[in-house]
Amino acid sequence: MNVICWKIIRVKSGMFFFYFSLVLIPLKSYGLNETGQNFPSVTCPNKLPLPKGYVEWTDNPEKVISVEWMYGKHICESFPTCHHLGNEIESLSPQLMPVEIQPGVRLRFYPSRKINESIAFQYFKVDNNSFEICQTSGGKPLVGERTSEDVYIELKDMDYGSNYFLAEMTPELIYKCKYGLKLNVTVKKNDCQEPKMKDACWKRGRCVTHRTQKSYTCQCCPGWTGKYCEDKDACVSSPCLNDGKCLDHYGDPTGKKYNCSCKLGFTGENCESHVNNLCDKQPCLHNATCVGNRTYFECNCPPAFKGDHCEVDRNDCYSNPCINGLCIDKADAYQCYCMPGYSGRNCEINLQKCVSSPCQNGGHCSQIGSGYECFCPNGFTGEKCEIKVDLCKPSPCKNEEDCVDLGKEFKCICKNGWTGNLCEINVNECESYPCKNGGKCKDLEASFECLCFHGFSGELCEDFDVSTVGNEVSKGTFPSKINHLVIIAGTLGGAVLLAVIILSVCYFKTHGTSQIRAWKQRYFAYERHENSTSQVSENPRMKDMYNSRLSADAIYEATSINYSDNSLNTPLVKSLKAKRI
């Protein structure tokens, strides 16, 4: 007879820890060991088959365990897929398959290299809350920046128990924590060996662990239970009927105390009795309606749940509907997050048709549904922009000599007198003021005309006709500009004359005094001369010497008298000097 005995403990976050002994061999007779406890008379096999999801402690673990960060088969999102617990009612947020390691083992993180693009992640170690909501604020980065290289996680970066990691990259890309790029790593110590005992599990079991456990524990051989397989198992005889589960009373020295957990519809100490109505046990969950009797019940589940007891959230992603993407289960629905290059409700549309660059001549390729469309540049048309269009037919130029097609653009060769991209701007030849002598310039198409004043002629009014100006003056029809020139010349002449008069006055004021003094000296000399003559006429001795008179053609200039010569024979008149004028 094979017996399975269970111990079930509900823990935080809805996880169940299962401790059980799996009996795979026939029961044998029992004796007593040195402590007085019952002990099997045969040795428990060392190679009992492990249940799914369990691993056994090893004294020589792998040195490095590699973890590939990518979507697809690496992602799980429920207790059955992540922890191999069967049909548990609670779902999980999408995440990488959990990893469990022994102390001393290193982890190697690396981004997937199975896609045709380079991916660079930045890895973070975070707390449980940040792990659930995909935030890096509750942790620290393991590398300084995003990298596509391998990253090794040492034991010093991890604690015993659960260690939470997540990866992020640029916000615009689809590779995100919320779609499953996070990992729960459990570092598990050995809790299989009692401090005073040399052998693990008292040699009555195997040291194993499950993904929901924080450490390695004992899987006891048939007939034994307890942390170290130290307690006699009262459930070894399978006292619970009708598929009831037996729960052993730990520490009972008699090894006979147990409780039965009965299946729905049964009751009693050993689950030996039927109930009157199966709905009395409230078998339906999530406010479902129960309809039944003594042997039958049915749960009418809310839309978001299913199962015999409405215990299962409808996992619409179970069939993997997203062909090239990640499926996120929702209430009675699902949503696909497609890999780059795919689109559609189930990511069935290949958007990579533009990868081959079907559009020619610089055309832009855009995915339209399951096909594509080319947006062509100027000068090209056609499904693939393969047809050349003559940009000069019809000519876009307005006043051109010629239009030149340059491929994706055109160029207008303008006529004289025109400019601009389309030769639409008339060049103003009058901007350089070509007309001379006050002539007015009139702009023409590709030319100009000078309107000359009377008296001027020529293409630029550069020629002056004097006779025309004279006739105009005599007729009193001299051009107004010439009249202005005459007025200006007269005004300037009067100003010059006035300046000469003013300068003359100033000159005489400055030099007139000395000139008048000279005139006075001449006059006084003349008076003295006259007086001397009269004296000579009275003096007989001098009369003969001075008989002559001044002629009308002569003038005498007074000079300074030399009084040092007192000779009587030196006449005073010698002091006068004759001067011709």
pLDDT value of residue 494: 85
Q: What DSSP letter does each residue of 475-501 carry, written as one string?
A: TT---HHHHHHHHHHHHHHHHHHHHHH
Rounded Cα gap, residues 201 and 228, in angstroms? 4
Q: What is the pLDDT of residue 373?
A: 87
Q: Band of the pLDDT at 454, cuts 50, 70, 90?
A: confident
Pair of tokens at residue 451: 């309107």
Is 193 a residue whose pLDDT tops 90? no
In this predicted structure, the answer to whether residue 449 has a pLDDT above a threshold of 60 is: yes
pLDDT digits 0-9 by tens, 464-495: 876 665 555 444 444 555 556 667 777 888 88
The CA R_g of the chain, rounded to the nearest whole Å, is 64
Contact 118, 153 (CB under 8 A): no
* pLDDT tens readout for residues 83-122: 776 665 667 889 999 998 998 899 999 988 877 677 888 9
- Strand pairing report for 400-405 and 387-388: unpaired
CA–CA separation, 476 and 18 (whole Å): 132
348 conformational bin, left if phi > 0, alpha if psi -120 to 50, beta if neither = alpha
CA 180 – CA 194 distance, rounded (Å): 39
Whose tokens are 């194993």? That residue is: 208
Please give the residue that has the higher pLDDT: either 150 or 305: 150
- In the chain, where the domains are located: 4-274, 278-313, 352-388, 431-474, 483-580
Res. 13: pLDDT tops 60: no
- Residues 455 and 465: their CA atoms lie apart, in Å, by 5
Give dist(CA 385, CA 227) in Å, integer. Answer: 76
Which DSSP category does 332 fall into? Answer: T
Only one residue has tokens 């991890």, namely: 158
* The CATH fold of domain 431-474: Laminin (2.10.25)
Could you tell me whether strands 106-111 and 151-153 are parallel, antiparallel, or unpaired per DSSP bridges?
antiparallel
The alpha carbon of residue 221 and the mean position of all alpha carbons in its chain are separated, in whole angstroms, by: 63
Q: Which residue has the tokens 């630029």?
A: 460
Same fold, 352-388 and 431-474: yes
Separation of alpha carbons 364 and 313, rounded Å: 46
Q: Secondary structure of 162-178 in the HEC alphabet?
A: EEEEEEECCCCCCCCHH
pLDDT tens by residue, 41-72 = 335 655 567 777 788 888 888 889 999 998 87
Token pair belonging to 255: 């090894």
Residues in the chain: 581
Among residues 547, 551, 525, which one has the least CA distance to residue 536? 547
According to CATH, what is the number of the domain 352-388? 2.10.25.10
Task: Say which residues have a Cβ less than 8 Å from residue 1's Cβ, sequence separation at least 6.
Answer: 26, 27, 238
Res 468: pLDDT:
60
Q: Which two tokens stand for residue 343?
A: 């689109």
Task: Decide: helix, strand or coil at residue 522.
Answer: helix
Cα–Cα distance, 271 to 259 (Å, whole number): 10
d(CA 472, CA 30): 155
Neighbours of 283 (CB within 10 A): 19
Asked if pLDDT for residue 237 goes beyond 70, the answer is yes
CA dist., res. 361 & res. 341, Å (int): 24
- Round to whole Å and give the CA distance between 4 and 22: 5
Residue 217 to residue 229: CA distance in whole angstroms:
10
Return left, alpha or beta for 119; rule: phi > 0 is left, psi -120 to 50 is alpha, else beta.
beta
pLDDT tens for each residue of 324-343: 899 988 877 889 999 887 88
The Cα-based distances of 104 to 40, 115, 151 in angstroms read: 35, 32, 17
Beta strands, E only, 287-385: 289-292, 297-300, 305-306, 312-313, 325-330, 333-338, 342-343, 349-350, 364-368, 371-375, 380-381
Question: Looking at the DSSP assignment, which residues form a beta bridge with residue 233?
Answer: none
Cα 330-123-183 angle, rounded to 5 deg: 45
Pairing assessment for the beta strands 189-190 and 215-220 based on DSSP bridges: parallel
Span of 5-14, 136-145, 259-268, 494-503 with lowest mean pLDDT: 5-14
Tokens 């909501």 belong to 133
Side by side, which strands form the sheet with 64-69? Answer: 64-69, 106-111, 151-153
CATH number for the domain running over 278-313: 2.10.25.10
* Contacts for 309 with CB less than 8 Å, ≥ 6 apart: 283, 284, 285, 288, 299
The pLDDT tens digits of the residues spanning 297-324 come to 899 998 778 888 998 887 788 788 999 8
DSSP 8-state class, residue 147: B
Q: 481: closest CA among 462, 453, 461?
A: 453
Closest CA to 550 of 520, 517, 579: 579
pTM (global) more than 0.75: no
Cβ-based neighbours of 63, under 8 Å, separated by 6 or more: 105, 106
Mean pLDDT comparison of 21-30, 73-82, 144-153, 497-506, highest-scoring range: 144-153
For 401-422, how does the pLDDT look when each residue is reduced to its tens digit (9 = 90+)? 889 988 888 889 898 888 888 8
